[in-house]
Amino acid sequence: MKLVTFKAPDGTDHPGVLDGSEVVTIDGVGSIRELYERTPGLEAAREASGTRYALADVKLLPPIIPKKLIHTSGNFREHEQESKVVNWSHAIAPWIVFFQNVDAIIGQDDDIVYPEHLTKELDHELELAVVIAREGSFLDESESESYIGGYLIFNDITARDIQRREMKSGVFSFCKSIQTFCPLGPWIVTPDEVGDPHTLDMRLFVNGDLRQHSYSGNMSVTIPELIAHHSPLGYSAGDVLTTGTVSGVAGFKSDAEKWYLRPGDLVECTIDRIGTLRNQVVSWEKAHGSPPPPFREW
């Protein structure tokens, strides 16, 4: 089952289920997050029989706006290895955890706005993300799998020049939390349709050129281990947990300047059995109707 949030032709927003080339509203539920907050929530989605719309006639929105979006960094050790090629400023340790600004979330076909006055090194990071099915904390690894409510795609857009300066203090957040830097979607796929989440092909394309390619089985730890490890933070139903990016980011190439994102670039993130998340990078002026402010080093 694929869970969506969409804008209908009349301008109203609805939670729904993707059924082939149509979406079906889930009546009596205000949002996909509310669906997870109910007990048993997903049954209402499986029995959805509301209004049907052609997928081509609706606008897909971010499928869920969680209370918390919890980042995992350093999980794919191949990403650490590529950082050594360019002598990245800081070690990429496993188990790095930090929160994302949920106001930065955008959905399918939404624009990534390039803040030219803040960064000159805009990068992409393909990631598999997990939706937490219900609230919980201090979980044992053996019970963590039962907390998986679905999977979706995350593109962790990062301003590398800001990140390097932030990391001098040992932390980073601003570089990944600027508005529109959190593409998420295009829908949530329930665990029964995904099967083993550690057997998924993962690819990111820029203007049709393959930039990142790996497999979810290359994680250094399993998804249940991640869920258990982060659980002392306390999960709410509908929270989203990311699992780390794979190798192939622009910033860790020896000629990085050639590979950073530019206005006009089309970024497509594809994960096997989930789908493709598609976003275009646009200039500040195109998005806001006026030139960006003067550049200032963050």
pLDDT of residue 39: 65
Give the pLDDT mean for 286-290. 96
For the chain, what are the domain ranges?
2-61, 69-288
How far is 183 from 154, CA to CA, in rounded Å? 6
Would you say residue 85 has pLDDT above 80?
no
**Domain 2-61: what homologous superfamily?**
FAH (2.30.30.370)
Per-residue burial over 231-258, b if 16 or more Cβ lie within 10 Å, else e, is beeebbbbbbbbbbbbbbbbbbbeeeee
Exposure string for 73-109, b = 16+ CB within 10 A, e = fewer: bbbbeebbebbeeeebeeebeeeeeeebebebbbbbe
Angstrom distances, CA of residue 137 to CA of 14, 70, 141, 180, 235? 30, 14, 11, 30, 6
Give the DSSP letter of residue 90. Answer: S
Band the pLDDT of 229: cuts 50, 70, 90: very high
Intra-chain end-to-end CA distance of the chain, in Å: 43
pLDDT in tens, 233-261: 999 999 999 998 888 899 888 898 999 99
> How far is it, in rounded angstroms, from Cα 257 to Cα 265?
15
The CATH T-level fold of domain 69-288 is Fumarylacetoacetate hydrolase; domain 2 (3.90.850)
Domains 2-61 and 69-288 equal at CATH topology level: no
Q: Which residues of 110-231 form beta strands (DSSP E)?
A: 112-114, 122-123, 126-132, 148-155, 158-159, 182-189, 201-206, 209-215
Percent of the chain residues past pLDDT 70, beyond the cut = 92
Q: pLDDT grade, residue 79 (50/70/90)?
A: low
Q: Mean pLDDT across the stretch 270-282? A: 98
- The least confident of 9-18, 29-38, 80-89, 101-110 is 80-89
87 neighbors 256 (Cβ within 8 angstroms): no
- What backbone torsions phi and psi does residue 270 show, to the nearest 5 degrees? -125, 130
Which pair of structure tokens corresponds to residue 20? 């082939």
Match 């289920």 to its residue by tokens. 17
- Tokens read off for 135: 């609230």
- Identify the band that residue 91 occupies on the pLDDT scale cut at 50, 70 and 90: low
Q: How is residue 112 written in tokens? A: 């990534």
